[in-house]
Chain A
Amino acid sequence: MFTRREPKIDETELTHIPGAEPQSRMDVWWWLVALVVVIIVGLAVAMPDPYWRILKFVQDGLWITVVLTVVSFVFVLVLGMLGGLGRLSKNNAIHGLTTLYVEIVRGVPLLVQLIWWYFAFPVIIQTIGKWTGISALAGYQSNAIVLAIIGLVVCYGAYMSEIYRAGIQSIPKGQMEAARSLGMTYFQAMRHIILPQAIRVILPPVGNEFIALLKDSSLVSVVAVADLTRRGREFMSTHFNPIEVWTMVALLYLVMTLFSARLVTFIERKTKFER
Chain B
Amino acid sequence: MEHIIHIEEVHKHFGRVHALRGVSLRVKKGEVVVIVGPSGSGKSTLLRCINRLEEFDKGRIIVDDIHLDNAQNINTVRREIGMVFQSFNLFSHMTVLDNLMLAQRVVRGRTRTEAKQIAMDLLKKVGIPEKANAFPAQLSGGQQQRVAIARALAMNPNIMLFDEPTSALDPEMIKEVLDVMLALTKEGMTMVVVSHEMGFARAAANRIIFMDEGQIIEEASPDELFSNPRHERTKAFLSKVLQI
Q: Which residues of A contact B (CB under 8 A)?
A: 1-7, 9, 13-15, 18, 172, 174-175, 177-185, 188, 192-193, 196-197, 200, 273-275
Assess the A4–B89 pair: CB atoms within 8 A: no
Determine the chain B residues whose CB is within 8 A of the CB of A174 once the complex forms: 85, 87, 89
Docked-complex contact A180 and B168, CB < 8 angstroms? no
The number of chain B residues touching the other chain, given as a range, is 35 or more
Q: Are B138 and A183 in contact (CB under 8 A)?
A: no
Q: How far is the CB of B47 from chain A (nearest CB, A)?
A: 11
Of chain A, the residue at the smallest CB distance from B75 is A183
Q: Specify which chain B residues have a CB less than 8 angstroms from the CB of A273 in the assembled complex.
A: 92-93, 135
Given contacts A2-B168, A197-B92, contact A181 B138 (CB under 8 A): no
**Contact B137 A274, beta carbon cutoff 8 Å:** yes
Contact indicator B78/A180 (Cβ below 8 Å): yes
* B137 cross-chain contacts in A, Cβ below 8 A: 7, 274-275
Asked if A181 and B51 make an inter-chain contact with CB atoms under 8 angstroms apart, the answer reads yes
Residues of A close to B151: CB separation below 8 A: 182
0/1 string, B73-88, CB within 8 A of A gives 1: 0011011011101010
* Bound form: Cα–Cα A9–B143 in Å: 12
Select the residue from B89, B130, B134, B152 with max chain A CB neighbours within 10 A.
Answer: B89
Closest to B105 in A: A192
Chain B 81-107: CB-based contact to A (< 8 A → 1; otherwise 0): 111010101111100000000110011
Given A200-B93, A273-B92, 7 more contacts at CB 8 Å?
A4-B170, A7-B139, A178-B91, A181-B53, A181-B81, A182-B102, A192-B102
Min CB distance B93 to A, Å, is 5
A residues near B111, Cβ cutoff 8 Å: none
Give B197-219 as 1s and 0s: 1 = Cβ < 8 Å from A's Cβ atoms. 00000000000000000000000
In the assembled complex, which residues on chain A have CB atoms less than 8 Å from the CB atom of B239? Answer: none
Could you tell me the distance between the alpha carbons of A30 and B40 in the complex, rounded to whole angstroms? Answer: 56
B155 within 8 A of A: yes
Contact B169 A4 (CB under 8 A): yes
Cβ A4 vs Cβ B51 within 8 A = no
Question: With the chains together, A1 CA to B244 CA distance in Å?
Answer: 15
Pairs A-B, 9 closest by C-beta atoms: A183-B79, A178-B89, A174-B89, A182-B103, A274-B137, A181-B83, A183-B107, A183-B78, A6-B140
Chain B residues with Cβ below 8 Å from A197 are 92-93
A172 / chain B contacts, CB cutoff of 8 Å: 87, 89
In B104-118, which residues have CB < 8 Å from any A CB? Answer: 106-107
Residues in A whose Cβ lies below 8 Å from that of B155: 182-183
A174 to chain B, nearest CB (A): 4
Of A2, A14, A200, most B-chain CB atoms within 10 Å = A14
Q: Which of chain B's residues have a CB closer than 8 A to the CB of A1?
A: 167
B53 and A180 contacting across the interface, CB-CB below 8 Å: yes
Minimum CB–CB distance from B124 to chain A (whole Å) comes to: 17
> Beyond A184-B106, A184-B107, is A18–B81 a contact (Cβ under 8 Å)?
no
